Structure 1
Amino acid sequence: MNLFRGVQDRRHAKALQAELDLVEAGLLENLTFASPVADVPARYLLEAGGKRIRPTLTLLASELGEGPNELVRRAAQSVEITHLASLYHDDVMDDATLRRGVPAAQTVWSNSIAILAGDLLFARASTLVSGMGEEAILLQAQTFERLCLGQLHETVGPQEGEAPIPHYLQVLADKTGALIACAARMGVMFGGAPTEYADPVMEYGERIGVAFQLIDDVIDLSPKSQQTGKLAGTDLRAGVATLPMLLLRERAAAGNVADAELLERIDAGVLAIENGAEPAVLDAEVKALQLHDVTRETEMTARRWAEEAVAQLDILPKSSVKRALERMAESIVNREG
């Protein structure tokens, strides 16, 4: 997934990659702790790799102004560290076994150490932002609040009378979209771009965040498990609500007999896995859902969110940066892992 492929000038693309390399070096420096007990767990997920979508977006957004500088790089690091911190917590809450192709942190150490490692990263991100001005501090605090609310709403589920699909999309906007939006806005803020770009670029970031997660719902069902680092249908086998499953439930509730039968088999398989059955008990149902119209509908929904993201960029002048942002949205919905 080449996030700089929309930058037409090769020297410009190389310069941005060099800036991303500086951000990466800064991440390693900022996630080094004097205590050996903290040092290894805190760097664990950073060293596992990742797409670095958030810092890339911060750097690109800064190009709408004067380009990367020390504050832009610092902002990019703070956002990525916040993202990494949230992964430690998410994996504990989801009882995940894998993250980025490596064992989840709590399976290597313990739930307590994974949670504390995440807390350390949140603290380090706050330290980075603390010297960047009141606006940046407030933006980080508001974003962190949305991350927590998104996780809370996901945990408790839709309330009585609340439609499951809008609830799910709002969870995605809070848990993923908010931080990507923050990354974009910080690039505008610290890159010296016109202030009128801040809100549209932030809206763009939130929408590509939702699109990213919806495509993840599709990828989860993909048989190309070697690309995702997970067994196909990991979320389905764990009973996690994704958009394909929510759409299937909606169709079953509307009286579609075939969909109701598939849903019944899936629910029975999930219960069997919870009671000790092998995950393979749902292999046929995973394949059926992967080929089902609800998965195509999920992909189309992701593409609509990406198109809405790109529409937010209409205010920007034509440039290689605008094209790169457009291509970033395309790359997110076209990826296979």
Structure 2
Amino acid sequence: MSKLAYASEKIKAPSLVSLQTLFEGRMDQVNEKILKSLECSVPLIQDIAGYLIKQGGKRLRPLLTLASAELCGYKGHRHVGLASAVEFIHTATLLHDDVVDESALRRGAATANTIWNNTASVLVGDFLFSRAFQLMVEDGSLDVLKVLSQASATIAEGEVMQLASARNLNLREENYLAVIGAKTACLFEAATHVGALVADASSEKCEALRKFGFNLGMAFQLTDDALDYCATGESLGKHVGDDFAEGKVTLPILITYHAATEIEKAFIKKCFVDLTQEPQDLTRMIKLIHDKGALQAVSAKAQSYLNNARECLKIFEETSLKSTLLETLDFVLVRNH
């Protein structure tokens, strides 16, 4: 159901509040673990890492680790450390992404590379990766280590894949989906998978939660791609059109380009390949995206992944936690930030 449909039927739109409330106490433990792991003798590391961590954000990935473990009946504390490791991996990738993309704003605040510099951001990102691996080793499970280390490697592969395909308007949809699968969805996948692993869940449940995370992550990134051309800057936490300004060829752009006339294709090439953009070009691009139905197509693709994720949860008994996770799926599609 779309945001407009929720509004017209006067139904409360899904949100993350239920999931955040359910794990508020556990997330306090995760935050304590994160802050303790940031302790070191280098002030610059504490300044940059602390700046990022304190910005907060949705913390969806560590929440999913906690939720997956407890959905499988886990009653211990190992998932707290692993949720912290997942958040460190995510934060490290954000630091590296902002340097590569030359981004100036994230979550409504200046990026670390803007406040400090690119070199410091990259090195602190490396520090956060090392802390994540220390937490994995501390957990002591080779299975967990294998999943999270593979995710870290896959994310790096995704970054290189994205770099290699930058400004390529002829990129096939399946190749683009492979990029976001590596860059984004694999960490969601790892987050839910390790939650099941610490609970010693059956292989069927581990596989179900692994697939659940992957499909959720794909939908999350596709929605994020669409938001850049329909959300307001205040709600999104970045400037609308940041992807446009950086010449990022996302799925809405690929769909629009393949449906465009020759004149329209020349305009898109000017904006994304030549990066010769005029102040009015963003408005024209947004209209073109809407006219070609690209946002509806991306939303339908995201919905397909969410349907797959919903199917993955059918193996689990009906509980309030399962209902909360289903609401989280609905939130991914209708979110505006």
TM-score greater than 0.5 by the shorter chain? yes
Please state if 1:31 is matched with 2:31.
no
* Residue identity opposite 2:62 in structure 1: P
Q: Contact conserved, 1:92 with 1:114, CA < 8 A, in 2?
A: yes
CA distance in 1, matches of 2:35, 2:252: 38
CA distance in 2, matches of 1:319, 1:15: 13
% identity of equivalent residues: 28
Please state if 1:174 is matched with 2:168.
no
Alignment CA distance shift 1:125-1:265 (3 Å): same
Partner of 2:152: 144
1:65 pairs with one of 62, 65, 72 = 72
1:248 pairs with one of 256, 262, 265 = 256
Partner of 1:10: none
Please state if 1:231 is matched with 2:234.
no
Q: Secondary structure at the match of 2:23?
A: helix
Partner of 1:119: 126
Q: 1:329 Cα deviation (Å)?
A: 1.1
Partner of 1:188: 196
CA-atom RMSD in angstroms:
2.2
Q: Deviations over 1:240-288 (max 9, x none)?
A: 1111111122223xxxx3xx4333223334567x45x664443232243
Q: Which stretch of structure 1 is more off in the superposition, 22-31 or 301-310?
A: 22-31
Partner of 2:308: 308
Q: Contact conserved, 1:218 with 1:295, CA < 8 A, in 2?
A: yes
Q: Contact conserved, 1:188 with 1:195, CA < 8 A, in 2?
A: no
Please state if 1:198 is matched with 2:200.
no
Q: Contact conserved, 2:257 with 2:265, CA < 8 A, in 1?
A: yes
Q: Contact conserved, 1:244 with 1:295, CA < 8 A, in 2?
A: yes
2:263 pairs with one of 261, 264, 268 = 261
CA distance in 2, matches of 1:19, 1:267: 48
Q: Contact conserved, 2:136 with 2:144, CA < 8 A, in 1?
A: yes
Q: 1:313 Cα deviation (Å)?
A: 1.6
Q: 1:107 Cα deviation (Å)?
A: 1.1
Alignment CA distance shift 1:33-1:20 (3 Å): same
Q: 1:14 Cα deviation (Å)?
A: 4.7
Q: 1:68 Cα deviation (Å)?
A: 5.1
CA distance in 2, matches of 1:70, 1:163: 44
Q: Contact conserved, 1:302 with 1:333, CA < 8 A, in 2?
A: yes
Q: 1:217 Cα deviation (Å)?
A: 1.1
Q: Contact conserved, 2:223 with 2:299, CA < 8 A, in 1?
A: yes
Partner of 2:284: 284
CA distance in 2, matches of 1:290, 1:26: 45
**Matched residue pairs, number?**
321
* Residue identity opposite 1:234 in structure 2: D
Alignment CA distance shift 1:331-1:68 (3 Å): farther
* Residue identity opposite 2:257 in structure 1: R
CA distance in 2, matches of 1:29, 1:291: 51
Alignment CA distance shift 1:102-1:205 (3 Å): same
Q: 1:142 Cα deviation (Å)?
A: 0.9
1:45 pairs with one of 36, 44, 52 = 52
Partner of 2:330: 330
CA distance in 2, matches of 1:291, 1:21: 46
- Structure 1 stretches lacking a partner, 5+ long: 8-12
Q: 1:231 Cα deviation (Å)?
A: 2.5
CA distance in 1, matches of 2:246, 2:265: 14
Q: Deviations over 1:108-139 (max 9, x none)?
A: 11111000010000000000001222111111
CA distance in 1, matches of 2:136, 2:303: 33
Q: What are the residue-to-residue correspondences of 1:63-102 with 2, within 5 Å?
A: 63-67=70-74, 69-102=76-109
CA distance in 1, matches of 2:288, 2:247: 16
Q: 1:326 Cα deviation (Å)?
A: 1.5
Q: Secondary structure at the match of 1:63?
A: helix
